[in-house]
Chains A and B, each alone.
Chain A
């Protein structure tokens, strides 16, 4: 396998694989073992990142969290292949959820690979009155077991030592027995997967998938239940902390107000505090008052003002001025804010509960509650969210979620700029804008559910215990994600500014703007400079949004511009993900479709407002527009309820 070679390049030692259920702290082990050397590898054919690093002579690979090894999901396929090529498995289990986690442990043991088990979060288990007899557990599993508290680095050094003592554990007797049915040309670990009926591994070895999945799974489950009952003693069965809160979160009567309250607080934090107060300081004060004049003065020393080069460096779309101002002054605070909020939501365990709460509603769009995760992530970064659509159960759901994300969900950076603009326009505009985007979301989702063939899957989601976020962890996550975003965005921004600067200086920009006059001026009613905003929007969404406001516009023009740019194409990065995930045909269709729809809707708003103002001078045009949006939504929903063909099963 190609990736295996690249993984081990320059590494003479062993290939250590970290495996575990989601949310057990694998990355903490990874960070400890590898130190700071981290190398993000993009796995062939997928977009899920597999992280590799080095620990002395050994290669260490982190894998996506899974509940078992087979081909049920993309994560499982990736992890399966990495496990099959590993030398030593380091299995991390959550001490609080041994019944669940040890199932994977036993499956890994059944592959016959040498391994070590790290019993993580042992402190939390003790707090909940769960006492685990590690000696017994070690005996039953037949592999080294080390208790750890990874967030406090407790036990991690022992884990590092134990890797040298890794050994094959006690394989289920029923598995041993059936292994003999297969020829020895197949590797020991692959034999297990073949017997369990894994179609891909079977095809690779040119044999029929085995019939023993249910048998093995049932035996394994029974054995693990026995292991747990022999090694775990619960000293108290008191109710888990937060179970009442958990109930409130998923029951609509309390859950919806709670969700609205959360969203309101988030808006106050991001939309008001960060987007207005902080950005006013960083963008207008630091950048506007100090950085830009300084940059202009310094560049002016070398390149005379008024020349083309000077214009490209520090002019309207200056590579230096525009890139730094937008990136550091505007986006950095916003992205930090959003990633902070996302990290908080992830860490507390609130997200899967929102998924449970909203499951019923999302089924109207042909999705299930699980789609909340890409949709919420979309408000952080659409590109990231598009990748996470892989979590969804069926291709149909992935398609619907991709289109909704591309069309209606603004990413954090864009949303923040929009929030700032709307704050300046007053509540009426904000309400109409919100109604419009929300209506497109609902109408789009409902129609997609009707027209896209196939079947959607039902919700099946693990609700992790609610816990107070560990702030150190949250800050670390926030910082890492924001840093990643800024380093990824910086070159694209600079490139975008350069392209625009060149177009501007050479006069091509003006030609494009003039060519697009029928669209921008006549149909959308915007100044012709808006064309450059849309071009910038292709490079990065928020870049285009910001670009739309570099020239003066009336309030109505701003509303039209905001609507169009929100619905407008996703940035290059997310477009590339769409192409990768959906193929070039469907990708192009989504891309072109979204652009056309954005311009149609933006123009419609403009034309309607002009019509209202000229025909009904005494009426409030915004109120009338709001009414029309509601009527339009009602018509589409009514229409879609007539179309036959809802697809649902499972």
Chain B
């Protein structure tokens, strides 16, 4: 009987998968993305300190979304994809 019902979801959409986790952060370019929530920078400052203490990344880049209420603009997404290997997105409040 269930086959008689049409699907209300977008079955064309492919479920998104997370990228494979890196085995090590050494030598990697890491981006810390501030989503513009209050005190997100405090959280990411501390994460940057810990990353530098515990790993040897090639670089740590800081980027920021214009607002937390909307998705990151296309050009920011393209920039992050181009320049980084590991992304940490920071929320706070």
A binds B: no
By a beta-carbon cutoff of 8 Å, the part of chain A in contact with chain B is none
